Structure 1
Amino acid sequence: MDSAESPPRRGTPVGRGSRMRAAVLAAALAELTETGYAALTVDAVAQRAGVHKTTIYRNWKTPDGLVEDALTRHFATDVPVPDTGTVEGDLRALARSLVASMTTDAGRALLTTVLSDAVRTPRLAAIKRALFEDRFRRAEPVVTRAVERGELPAGTDPAELLKTLVAPVYFRLVFTGEPVDAATADRAVDVALAAARAGVLPAP
């Protein structure tokens, strides 16, 4: 992440508190989408958000902390955890939300940032791990509720089931470039459920 000055892109002043935090996180996300992690600067984020850069440093001790918060907030908001009453309905809603989020221009740009820049930047690699761990943790209730309802075997590992669910989506997005749509999400659900019900996704 560079500390160089960026061309002015001033936003409307946003005041303090939650409104300020939301504006700064949105600005950081926009900068990540447009320029990537390596070129992002606190000056550019401040100008876009309409705040002074000292405001950012008061609320986020490091630029990396700002990036982590912005990415976590975005992905948590874009892929909410459903509660449809059945594990199949929950996983289908989760997978389709993931597909919808990651196939937007912003989603693809952020995915490229998280994956490509992480190779060169150890701190971003740590942020990426924390981001996925947070996503799996948020979605754990989908699996634990299913076990309690008797829809999945006792001892099913939520993290392993969720990894099995998202793997086909990310494989197409990152490696093959094949189309990713609702049908992709639905097939991923079928595979994940079959594996869990076969008892091959137990907790360690």
Structure 2
Amino acid sequence: MATIYRDRADAGAALAERLTALVGRSDVIVLALVRGGVEVAAVVAERIGAPLDILVVRKLGVPWAPEVAFGAIGPGGVQVLTDGPAGRLDQEEIDKVVQREKAELARREGLYRAGRRPLNLDGHTAVIVDDGLATGATARAAVAVTRQLGAQRVVLAVPVGSEEAYELLVASADEVVCLQRPPDFGAVGLYYEDFHEVSDAEVQATLAAEG
């Protein structure tokens, strides 16, 4: 029977129990995927004694099927294109999507990274945390971006996910910690009593509290 978390903080506490091998390691940094992953990651970072930062990633969706990713963009001008879907788009189509997502990435970076140093992952073990895996497209993009930013090892950690998304991430991350993979997955929100849409203000408040 699937576990239902009270909220994202509860899920973060459960996730931290599976990451105790990382406690005390100076090379570890916890990266929250915004916005839903921030509260989960804040608890994880606190419990394992690692610094918390955020990773703003924007999936690049195929124009006629936005849920299908042909790549992703991240901080510092990082851009990753997949071999499959990207090959079916012409440069003008790619550029149009990239420019739109760059604008949203810049907006979120401006909000969330105010006063923070640019993300530097050289030599680090990056633990990417989100509140769940549905298709896995955004998380896969985050793994690729994190590698481009210099991470030595990439761990993807989530409280719940679909089997398909899990298999997708196992092929790209160095390690995937997924607490449960229900056979009749449905949607991430089904495994939370409180799964409200996280606001920009909540993200900023959580990051401010982490100092």
Query: TM-score, structure 2 length as denominator?
Result: 0.27
- Give the number of the structure whose residues are more often helix, by fraction: 1
Query: TM-score, structure 1 length as denominator?
Result: 0.28
- Give the number of the structure whose residues are more often strand, by fraction: 2
